[in-house]
């Protein structure tokens, strides 16, 4: 008589995060979390550049002439990202890293802070987060998610792939803006003078080809290994060439200069935490004007995160066959809390990062990877020089490779139906061309509705899609409306 077979005994971590159930392993989750951190870590450097500054830097000055100190912004950026990554991973159990969103922080620096003080601007972010959480808890956000046609969900995923690839190209200097003084109608070009004339860009090209070869050869940990090797090459290049930052010399490094640190860091300055005035903006600029700013924040946050979650769940194969996502309501509610945490810490609204796709490509499928990413962000507060060893040019190749992978989401599109092709195409190309996930979603929604009306199928469009398309029309016409009503 043969012995009875027994089920393998799973450890508590495996059971909690459902690692084996999702076809992953603990080492894959650890690698995935590490890769996601490497591709997201730039935000700790970039966010202070966008919303922080020094006295005299008028770009980041609020209505009273005050600035957010760069070092403090870096510290709270890492703090908020670390906390939100851990909370999202533990509660929602998805490998989606969270940090200060580039869209909202730019909106704060360019459009909102010049009208109010920085604490008042962060107060508007907190209000935005409260509204987003309420929309998630009440189920409205989930209902909108379910109303999106399958073709548009695929387009959003592919568009995000193009977007993160474009981010990689720009961060590495492979694609550069051509100055208006050049007298050309071409907005961007290849490298410098249409050639790869800078060593950092050459390092990026090497990284793309290296990771591509490792992926084709099915080397375990291909993306992480590629980032490590490319970083070593960058260190050697820097040792030989002695380059500076690109804002001083276009032949230099984009953000981080790859050099071994002389020290590991020190205690972070978290004095900006709690420097928030929730209602001050309504007194300073009026209820109507402040409400318009909140509307812009909500719409941007609402659809940026929804689009990113759509793309990432499809890429991680976590989406059900009917196009729904398990725990989507919880995911959207917790993600919305990122705006409250980010605003409360003066780090700007925190949201799901498209760069998480790099960790997913490395094998991450659960929240354990997110916890790894979060712990590394918290450590980054104390060890700033250590993570700055990895330049953007070494992390950006992972974004390009993952972007190429995400284009596979378009394989099920029926390319013979132009009423499907047009909104899908516009969704995909608008994201990188306008540097905004929300813009791509809005353009896709509006075009889908117009195509349905043109075919006499208006009644087949979900009512929520009509409502959201109308809101996007208001969003895109925000400036004329403000002029019309004197806001």
- Residue 246 in domain: no
Q: What is the pLDDT of residue 7?
A: 47
Over 80: is that where the pLDDT of 111 sits? no
Over range 177-205, report the average pLDDT. 83
Both 372 and 419 in a single domain?
A: no
Confirm whether 401 is domain-assigned: no
Of residues 486 and 42, the one with the higher pLDDT is 42
* Residue 6 predicted with pLDDT over 70: no
pLDDT confidence of residue 129: 93
Report yes or no on 62 lying in a domain: yes
Residue 225 lies in a domain: no
Whether residue 71 is found in the same domain as residue 105: yes
Residues 302 and 450 occupy one common structural domain = no
Does residue 381 share a domain with residue 428?
Answer: no
Compute CA 16 distance to the chain's CA centroid, rounded to the nearest angstrom.
Answer: 27
Q: Please give the pLDDT value at position 57.
A: 40
Listed range (44-53, 279-288, 451-460) with the worst mean pLDDT? 44-53
368/433 same-domain check: no
Q: Report pLDDT digits (tens) over 226-249.
A: 888 999 999 999 999 999 888 788
Do 104 and 63 share a structural domain?
yes
CB 73 within 8 A of CB 52: yes
pLDDT exceeds cutoff 80 at 110? no
Q: Per the domain annotation, does 223 fall within a domain?
A: no
User: CA-to-CA distance for 376 and 243, rounded, in angstroms?
Assistant: 28
State the pLDDT confidence band at 487, using cuts at 50, 70 and 90: low
Half-sphere exposure of 33 (CA within 13 A, CB side): 24
**pLDDT class of 386 with cuts at 50, 70, 90:** low
pTM of this prediction? 0.74
pLDDT in tens, 399-409: 888 788 878 87
- 64 in the same domain as 118: yes
| Domain presence at residue 270 | yes
Q: Could you tell me the residue range of the domain that residue 471 belongs to? A: 414-480
Q: What is 243-283 written as a DSSP string?
A: --BTTT-TTSBSS------SS-------TTTT---SSHHHH
Does residue 349 share a domain with residue 383? yes
Angstrom distance (rounded) from CA 141 to CA 134: 9
Identify the band that residue 218 occupies on the pLDDT scale cut at 50, 70 and 90.
confident
Rg (CA), the chain: 22
The two tokens of residue 170 are 């720009």
Is residue 2 a part of any domain in this protein? no
Give me the phi and psi of 329, to 5 degrees please. Answer: -60, -45
Q: Is residue 293 part of a domain?
A: yes
- pLDDT of residue 299 exceeding 90, the answer is no
Query: What total number of domains does the chain contain?
Result: 2
Say whether both 158 and 50 belong to one domain: yes
pLDDT score, position 459: 92
* Residue scoring higher pLDDT (236 or 177): 236
261-283 pLDDT, tens per residue? 777 777 888 999 999 999 999 99
Question: Higher model confidence: residue 28 or residue 177?
Answer: 28
- In a shared domain, residues 320 and 459: no
Whether residue 458 sits in one domain with residue 370: no
Same domain for 310 and 455? no
Residues whose CB is less than 8 angstroms from the CB of residue 188 and which lie 6 or more positions away in sequence, other chains included:
175, 176, 177, 178
Residues 6+ apart with CB under 8 A from 9: none
Average pLDDT across the chain, whole number: 86
CA-CA distance, 84 to 97, in Å (whole number)? Answer: 8
The per-residue pLDDT for range 61-87, each reduced to its tens digit, is 888 888 888 888 989 999 999 999 999
Distance CA(451)–CA(422), nearest Å, equals: 9
């Amino acid at each position: 008589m043969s012995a009875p077979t027994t089920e393998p005994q799973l450890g508590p971590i495996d059971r909690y995060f459902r690692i084996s159930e999702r076809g992953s392993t603990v080492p894959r989750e650890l690698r995935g979390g590490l890769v996601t951190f490497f591709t997201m870590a730039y935000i700790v450097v970039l966010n202070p550049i966008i919303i922080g500054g020094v006295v005299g830097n008028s770009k980041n000055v609020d209505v009273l002439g005050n600035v957010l100190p760069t070092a403090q912004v870096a510290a709270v950026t890492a703090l908020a990202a670390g906390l939100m990554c851990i909370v999202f991973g533990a509660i929602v159990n998805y490998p989606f890293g969270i940090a200060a969103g580039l869209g909202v922080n730019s909106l704060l620096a360019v459009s909102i802070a010049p009208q109010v003080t920085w604490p008042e601007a962060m107060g508007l972010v907190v209000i935005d987060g409260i509204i987003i959480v309420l929309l998630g808890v009440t189920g409205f956000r989930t209902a909108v998610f379910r109303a999106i046609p399958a073709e548009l969900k695929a387009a959003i995923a592919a568009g995000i792939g193009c977007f993160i690839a474009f981010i990689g190209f720009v961060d590495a200097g492979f694609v550069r803006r051509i100055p208006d003084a050049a007298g050309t109608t071409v907005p961007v070009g290849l490298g410098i003078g249409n050639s790869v004339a800078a060593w950092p860009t050459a390092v990026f090209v090497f990284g793309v080809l290296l990771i591509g070869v490792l992926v084709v050869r099915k080397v375990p940990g291909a993306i992480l290994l590629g980032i490590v090797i490319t970083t070593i090459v960058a260190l050697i290049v820097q040792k030989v060439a002695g380059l500076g930052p690109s804002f001083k010399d276009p032949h230099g490094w984009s953000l981080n200069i790859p050099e071994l640190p002389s020290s590991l860091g020190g205690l972070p300055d978290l004095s900006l935490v709690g420097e928030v005035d929730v209602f001050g903006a309504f007194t300073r600029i009026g209820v109507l004007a402040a409400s318009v700013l909140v509307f812009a924040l909500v719409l941007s946050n609402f659809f940026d995160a929804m689009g990113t979650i759509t793309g990432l769940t499809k890429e991680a194969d976590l989406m059900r066959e009917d196009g729904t996502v398990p725990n989507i309501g919880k995911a959207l509610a917790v993600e919305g809390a990122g705006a409250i945490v980010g605003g409360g810490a003066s780090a700007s609204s925190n949201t799901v990062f498209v760069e998480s796709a790099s960790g997913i490509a490395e094998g991450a499928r659960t929240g354990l990877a997110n916890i790894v990413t979060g712990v590394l962000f918290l450590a980054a507060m104390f060890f700033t020089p250590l993570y700055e060893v990895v330049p953007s040019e070494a992390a950006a190749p992972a974004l390009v490779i993952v972007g190429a992978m995400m284009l596979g989401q378009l394989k099920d599109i029926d390319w013979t139906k132009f009423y499907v092709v047009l909104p899908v195409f516009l969704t995909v190309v608008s994201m990188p061309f306008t540097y905004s996930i929300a813009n791509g979603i809005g353009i896709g929604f509006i075009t889908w509705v117009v195509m349905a009306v043109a075919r006499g199928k208006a009644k087949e469009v979900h009512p929520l899609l009509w409502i959201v398309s109308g809101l996007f029309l208001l969003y895109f016409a925000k400036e004329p409306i403000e002029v019309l009503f004197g806001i």
